[in-house]
Amino acid sequence: MTEHEKLLAGLHYNTRDPELLGMYHNARAVTKQLAQLDSHDFETKLTLLREMLGGFGDESWIELPLWCDYGKHVTIGRNCFINTNVVFLDCNTVTIGDNTLVGPNVQFYTPVHPLSAKERLTGDPDYPFLTSAKPIVVGSNVWIGGNVVILPGVTIADNTTIGAGSIVSKDIPAGVLAMGQPCKVVRELE
């Protein structure tokens, strides 16, 4: 398997792999171009986002700046609004459904490292840390408030609202209001 295939399979992979570094540098170049655009130049913005991301639905909008590790693993549905300073640590896939709102400073973290430094550190300068990654899935018609952190492997189901400042460490079911640190269901929504 290539390191990229290992990454997507949730296995330990070498973050210093040349293919992955190439994807990383491409994302840096595109985000730099995006940061320098005039806000009126929507067509160039759309072209660059579609070049960098794995999918970017019609009528969706991302406020700049944004950060991604690779970009290609992020898929955003149609009619979504992603507010400023979003962070996609997309070492595995981040999938966002249609009609979803993402507040400012929301962070999507897919990477996982062993908790023990003894296990995490390899001692190899060409492969210094054990890293794997788990996908994140956000359904359709979801609203994620500002400053939310979504941890590896989490699924947030359709029609759910996540309160601002939450840390989402476990799956959240459909049609609920959830919030807190850690994020928990508060009540059902109609």
Identity at 1, one-letter amino acid code:
M
Instruction: Please work out, in degrees rounded to the nearest 5, the angle formed at the alpha carbon of residue 61 by the alpha carbons of 56 and 63.
Output: 120
The DSSP element (H or E) to which 20 belongs, if any, is helix 18-35
Please check whether residue 77 is in contact with residue 57, taking contact to mean a CB–CB distance below 8 angstroms: yes
Placement of tokens 């492969």 in the chain: 127
Report the DSSP beta bridge partners of residue 55.
Answer: 75
- Concerning whether 73 is annotated as a catalytic residue, the answer is no
**Residues catalogued as catalytic:** 113
